[in-house]
Amino acid sequence: MRKFGIIGLGNVGRTVAYTLVTKGIADSLVLIDKDPKKSRAEQLDLQDAQARLNTTTQVSIQDYDALKDVEILYISAGDISISTNGGDRFDEFKFTAAVVKEIAPKIVASGFHGFIIDIMNPCDAVTSYLQKLTGFSKQRVFGTGTFLDTARMQRVVGEKLHVNPRSVEGYVLGEHGNTQFVAWSSVRVQGQAIQALPAASNFDFDQLADEAKQGAWEVASGKGFTSDAIATCAVSLGQAVLADAKLVCPVSGYSDQFETYVGLPAIVGKNGIESVVDLPLSEEEQQKFAASAKMIHDSVAKLA
């Protein structure tokens, strides 16, 4: 049985739930939110939808004990208005750190032994704090990190070069936030290094990177939140674990070098983070990565 759990049923959490149910990915789903009326409403809405689906998902609510045999647990609590007002995801840290402090003991007490995928902001710092308070292995706890930021970069580059974004490969690394950067040395378009393409000879790569970074704020300012793309990323990571896909992708994973979670390329499979990919970076990119990781590390250290 494919059993999932979601803690936090805001715009992202409920979109993850909707995706899991309507695509027939989850056989069983546990929904938990600080507002029990919201959990009940989402449960009923998803149950009503199933009369028109070809699959069935058992949906239960507000039961931490039911997390015991959950395979994939998403944590998606937050208040996006805090970060959109200030333009920095770290503005949410006080809020989400308090959430982690409240829910971590309950998750541990449930006997949960699956995998946690964090979607909260600031993703890397919160994932670090979550792993610390649960005591679970660093393989079992990871975040969506720059998986979505990389997709945004693929869209921007694809539009610029008039190609399908799926034909763009490469990584956005570092913080899922303002200190992220595009590792242009890793970017390939239809198999060719982007920096060697004649069509890209006059590109302003800093501007392209900024367009990708600002995509989140454009979505949030336009509809008040982000939901579809990040939920898609979260579900994809959960599926990669259950399918033992050995998916190579950027996530918020633990860096032994910098002793913190940070957006880096990793292999995701049945053991969660199977391994971290040692990506060759230019000297400038290494410096950006180190600065971003240090900022995350120091921010989490202040909570101790």
Q: Is 73 helix (H, G, I), strand (E, B) or coil?
A: strand
The answer to whether residues 285 and 180 touch, using CB atoms and an 8 Å cutoff, is: no
CA nearest to 119, candidates 150, 159, 76: 76
Does the bond joining 105 to the residue before it have cis omega, within 30 degrees of 0?
Answer: no
297 tagged catalytic: no
- Report the C-alpha gap between 31 and 17 in whole angstroms: 8
- Report the C-alpha gap between 20 and 11 in whole angstroms: 14
Answer positive or negative: Cα dihedral of 50, 118, 269, 110: negative
Kind and range of the H or E run holding 274? strand 272-276
Which residues, other chains included, contact 213 with Cβ-Cβ below 8 Å and sequence gap of 6+?
Answer: 149, 152, 178, 180
Most distant pair of Cα atoms in the chain: their distance: 58
Indicate the DSSP class of residue 259.
T
Q: 113, 162, 176, 297: which one is catalytic?
A: 176
- Report the C-alpha gap between 40 and 53 in whole angstroms: 20
- Report the C-alpha gap between 286 and 121 in whole angstroms: 24
End-to-end CA distance of the chain: 38
Give the residue numbers annotated as catalytic, written as ranges: 176
